[in-house]
Structure 1
């Protein structure tokens, strides 16, 4: 049987790790490349704020070829799609027919991804789609994965939350309006050990930093704040 040559959209976090784990168990696919978007200004993983050095240590431990997609700090949609389309064209020319994501239930995002990829003739795969997020997090921990919170929305959390290593008590201590996997962007993580790694990733906890960003405006956003805040925990490679 011919396996589908697949590249994985790797975020460095727990959902990516679990989705990749399941995809690697699926005999219909072969994962030959990991692709991660990074902020070219700060040399860090987009949204997560993780240093590129730790991203490389992570993908080296997984043992799959990796590549960065370098984006400006705050790209508009035209810039973003131009850069992404160039990358996808390169991957298609290298023989890739499928691409996988760690998304769980964001319908609009899935539709956007599928529409963009269909234009290039690629098929999107979502290994953990529509799974219960509490069950996913428990499965993640039961499999032996380890992950730490690297950034969090200040609407829900303060600086004490970032730098937390997730364990079984984590779910019970979350605010009621926060998804257990942070699927709505409440928090992001760095996965540093587990069954897909040849070795754990060593790091030290550095500074915690607060930043504010412009809030995307929509037709029903009259009551929303102009900005939103994010706490980051810097992880330093050892």
Structure 2
């Protein structure tokens, strides 16, 4: 009798890196991705940090045929409340047979260590399927584009990247224009994206751009479903 495959819950921000992580995970025969876990600002019903509308994330989940497991967070949200709600979500996932939680992190060691510490002792193991180095993210970005991934920049940190990049397609032209010191994948928080096309999506998710607003030192672009 064969053992059941490990069940993986994927942390899903709506951006290109988590979409790439799903693509990589689904090419592994030794595990099964069973859902997407997303944190939402409960006040505005948008993805925490990315500020993407929940209905667009639901469209992504439908496009990849996976259930979406939302974690609702207050705004502002203390680290204590965040960790409390994450612990509850992890416990529920464990009770439902989840064995691993995967993240689309690339190379920030402190972020990886934090996730490993938080999952320690929960019975759920962390996975980092697209972990790489800071020197290799340029190649990774080109690999994603060559594979057919398409995304739009929804958030920009103006301390590192000019606001004119907000709303730009994540493509070869954008990569060529990024200032020196900005990670090609935005891993240090220089920018965040919404992925609207992926080989894993049954259909492309059409979006239209709305208002750009500055909040808490970041610029956000409102995306709406077409």
Say whether the fold is shared (TM-score over 0.5). Answer: yes
Do structure 1's residue 45 and structure 2's residue 33 form an aligned pair? no
- Match for 1:166 among 167, 170, 178? 170
> Do structure 1's residue 143 and structure 2's residue 147 form an aligned pair?
yes
Deviation for aligned residue 1:157: 2.8
Whole-angstrom distance in 1 between the partners of 2:36 and 2:207: 21
Equivalences for residues 1-238 of structure 1 within 5 A: 1=2, 2-131=4-133, 132-212=136-216, 229-238=217-226
Residues matched between the structures, number? 222
1:186 Cα deviation (Å)?
A: 0.5
Measured on the aligned residues, the alpha-carbon RMSD in Å equals 1.0
2:153–2:166 CA contact under 8 A, matched in 1 = yes
SS at match of 2:69: strand
Tell me the alpha carbon deviations over residues 37-66 of structure 1, each in whole angstroms, 9 at most, x when there is no partner.
011111100100101111111111111111
Kept in 2, the 8 Å contact 1:158–1:231? The answer is no
Q: TM-score, normalised by structure 2?
A: 0.95
Aligned partners of 1:35 and 1:161: how far apart in 2?
28
The CA deviation at 1:142 is 0.4
Q: Secondary structure at the match of 2:151?
A: strand
Deviations 1:1-44 (A, max 9, x none): 53111110011000101111000101111001110001111110
Q: Which runs of 5+ in 2 are unaligned?
A: none
Q: Distance in 2 between the 1:156 and 1:96 partners? A: 38
TM-score, normalised by the number of residues in structure 1? 0.91
Q: Quote the Cα distance in structure 2 between the aligned partners of 1:90 and 1:15.
A: 25
